[in-house]
Amino acid sequence: MLLCDRDLIIVLRKGNMTNRFIPDNIIDDIRKHFDIVDVVGQHVKLKRSGRNYFGLCPFHSEKSPSFSVAPDKQIYYCFGCGAGGNVINFVMNIEGYEFIDAVKYLAGEAGIALPEIAGDRQPVVEDEEIIKMREAHDLAAKLYHYILTETTQGKAAMTYLIERGFTREEIVTFQIGYAPDSFETLFSFLNKRGYQNELLVACGLASQNDEGRVYDRFRNRIIFPIQDLQGRIVALGGRVLGAGDPKYLNSPESKIFNKGKMLYNLNLAKKSIRKGNRAILFEGYIDTIAAYRAGVEYGVASLGTALTNQQALLLKRFADQIYICYDSDNAGRLATLRAIEVLTNNGLKTMIATLPTGQDPDDYIKEHGAEKFNNEIIGQAVSTTTFRLTQARGAYNLKNESGKLDYIKQALTIIAELKHAVEQEHYLKELASEFRISLDSLKRDFQRFNKQSAGREGRTVAERGRYETGAIGKQQILYPAYYNAERNLIYLMMRSVEVSKRVELEIGTDFHVEDFANLATQLYEYYEQGYKAEVDRFIAFLEDDEQRKLATRIAMGDINQEITEKELNDYLKKIKDHTIQQEIERKRAAQLVAERNNEIEESLKLGQEIIELRNKK
C-alpha cells in the first residue's frame, strides 16, 4: 500500500510506476483543471443522455455506444470492455502513457509547473543517466540517418534500400540510417559532446573488449531506431550490409530498453491499431516497413525474441484482435505456434495470415503487390485452430490408415481445447466430412477427449467456456440482498467519509464479496491518510487496475446519495444477517452429523445455538 504524507503521494502504481514523488496538490490541480467531457470529447463523439454523456468506446470495437462519461463524478466507464477511471487514466490509455508521462503531459497542457519538492524529496525529474542515454540514442540515430542520406559513406546502403523497395519517405518516417564500417565514428562523435565511455557501453551504443578498448557496437549496418511508446529512441537495430554474422543485431538491454516489454513501431502504429481494433505482428523491421508501404499501418514486430506475455499485454491496451504474419519457413511456423499460445492466454483474439511456402511478408509484397497482400494474405487469415490443425497434418502420413487415425486423435485434442460448443461442432463437422466418417462416432470419441481437457470443478471445456463468458444472453442477473447491500455501501463510502467510518466500525472488512472487501480496505486507508470524499481521487489512489475498474463501475451507478439512517441500517443489517445465516447453516450441518451419530446431547446443544442465532436476525 502507499506510504505518503498528507500532502504527498508516492506514485508507485502497478502499470504506472515511477520512483519519484509528486505533490498531492499538483495531482488535484491537474484533475480539477480539466473537464473530463472536454478531454474525452477530443477522441470520442459524445452525446448527452440524462446526466451523463455516451459514445462509442475508443478502446474496443462496438456498434452501439456503451462508453459513458459522468461530468459530476469526473470519471468515465465502458460497460462493454470495463475501461474506466479519471482524466489521468484516460490520457494514459488513449496515448499509451505511463502515469508520470500522463501527469507531465496534462501539466504541460494546463500550464501547471512540476516544482521540486522541499526537504529531502527529489524533484519530479528522471534519472540523469536515463536522460543521457536517451539523448545519446537520439544523437546516434540522427548521425546515422545523416550518413545514410547525405554522405558518400552511405551511398551503398542507400542503393541497397532503394533496390529493396524502400522509398525516401519511408527512410525519413522510420529514421533509418547507416553505421559505417568503422570502430570510432559514433564513439568519437558522442565523446566530443560529453558522453562518457561508461554510459555508451551501458546503453549499448558502444562495446568494450577484454583489453578495455571501447568501440562502436554497430558497424557496416543499416540502422533501424527502436522507439518507446512516446517516440523516444531507446535502442537500435542493425542489419548487416552484405554478408556477415549476425545478420541482425539489436542493442543489449539497458535502463531504457527491455526488449521483452517493447514492440517495434508501436509508437507510430498505435493510433491505427486502436482505430481498427487490430494489430498485425511481424518478425522484423523490414517486414513491418514493407507492410506499411502496402497500406498496413497497424503492423508491429517483436525485437529478436519470442513473443512475451508483457508484449501481449501491451498490445491488449490498444486492440482485441491480433493477426500473426510470420515467415512461412519452419522457424516461422514454430514461432507462430508459440505466439498463439501467448496471445490467447492473455485473452486476445488471434488470426493467422499465412504466406506461401518460402516467402516472408517483404518478399510477397514485392512480388505480388499491396492489393494482393491485403486481400489474399490478411483478408484470408485463418483461425488459430485451423492453423494448428494444418500444422498437425504435416506430422502424419495421411495416405495410410494409421496416419489418418493418429491425425484424427491429435485433431480431437486440439478441438477439445476450444471453449465454445459452437466452435467445437464446426471443426468436428469439417473433420468428419474430410475423412468421410460418421459425425456421431466422432462425437463419441470427442467426448472422451473433452472430459480429459475439463477444467476446474469437473467442468468440460465447453461448459467452462459458457461459465467464464457468462453466456446467459442479456438476462438480468439477480444478485442476493447482501450483494446489493455491499455494492451500494461501497458506492456511498466513496462519497462520504462519515458512511465509511460507520461501516468500518460495524463491519470492518467482513464483506461477503471479496472484491468489495478489498475496496472497503482501500477506502479505510484512503480516508485515514486525510483525503476527501472525491470519487475520481479515490480511483486514482487505487493501485490495481481491476480494482480501479470495479470502483469506476460502482461509481457510475445511480444510487440515492442522500441516504437516511434507516436505509444505512438496512444495508448493514442485510450483511450481518447473511453472516448469521451462514453460521446457522454451518451449525445445522453439524447437527445433522450429530443426529446420524446418535449424539443426542450435542444435537440439542447445536439446536439451541441455532435458535439463538435466528433470534438475532
pLDDT digits 0-9 by tens, 206-263: 999 999 999 999 999 999 999 988 788 999 999 999 888 899 999 999 999 999 889 9
Cis omega (within 30 of 0) for bond into 480: no
Q: Report, as an integer, the average pLDDT of 398-421.
A: 87
pTM of the model: 0.61
Per DSSP bridges, beta strands 321-324 and 278-282 are parallel
Out of 3.10.580.20, 3.30.428.10, 3.40.50.300, 3.90.580.10, the CATH code matching 8-110 is: 3.90.580.10
- What local confidence, expressed as pLDDT, does residue 38 receive? 86
Q: Which of 276, 277, 275, 272 is nearest to 288 (CA)?
A: 272
Task: Pick 478-617's CATH classification: 1.10.860.10, 1.10.357.10, 1.10.10.10, 1.10.340.30.
Answer: 1.10.860.10
Helix ranges (DSSP H) in 417-474: 421-435, 439-452, 461-469
Give the count of beta carbons closer than 10 Å to the beta carbon of residue 390.
13
- Nearest one of 433, 384, 383 to 408, comparing CA atoms: 433
- Fold of the domain spanning 128-257: DNA primase DNAg catalytic core, N-terminal domain (3.90.980)
Classify domain 261-376 at the CATH topology level: Dna Topoisomerase Vi A Subunit; Chain: A, domain 2 (3.40.1360)
Give the 3-state secondary structure of residue 383.
strand
pLDDT of residue 543: 79
Residue 499 has pLDDT above 70, yes or no: yes
pLDDT at 97: 82
Residues of 271-295 as b/e, b for ≥16 C-beta within 10 angstroms? ebbbeebbbbbbbbbbbbbbbbbbe
- pLDDT of 123 over the 70 cut: no
pLDDT tier at 50 (50, 70, 90 boundaries)?
confident
Residue 397 has pLDDT above 60, yes or no: yes
Question: What pLDDT, in 10s, does the model give residues 566-613?
Answer: 889 899 989 888 888 888 888 888 888 888 888 888 888 888 888 888
pLDDT, greater one: 457 or 189: 189
Residues contacting residue 47 through CB under 8 Å, at least 6 positions apart: 53, 54, 55, 65
394: number of Cβ within 10 Å: 10
Query: Does 4 have pLDDT greater than 60?
Result: no
| % of the chain residues with pLDDT over 90 | 44
Identify which of 387, 393, 424 has the alpha carbon closest to the alpha carbon of residue 408.
393
Q: What residues contact residue 89 under an 8 Å CB cut-off, 6+ apart?
A: 539, 540, 548
The residues spanned by each domain of the chain are 8-110, 128-257, 261-376, 390-468, 478-617
Backbone angle region of 597, left / alpha / beta, with phi > 0 → left and psi within -120 to 50 → alpha = alpha
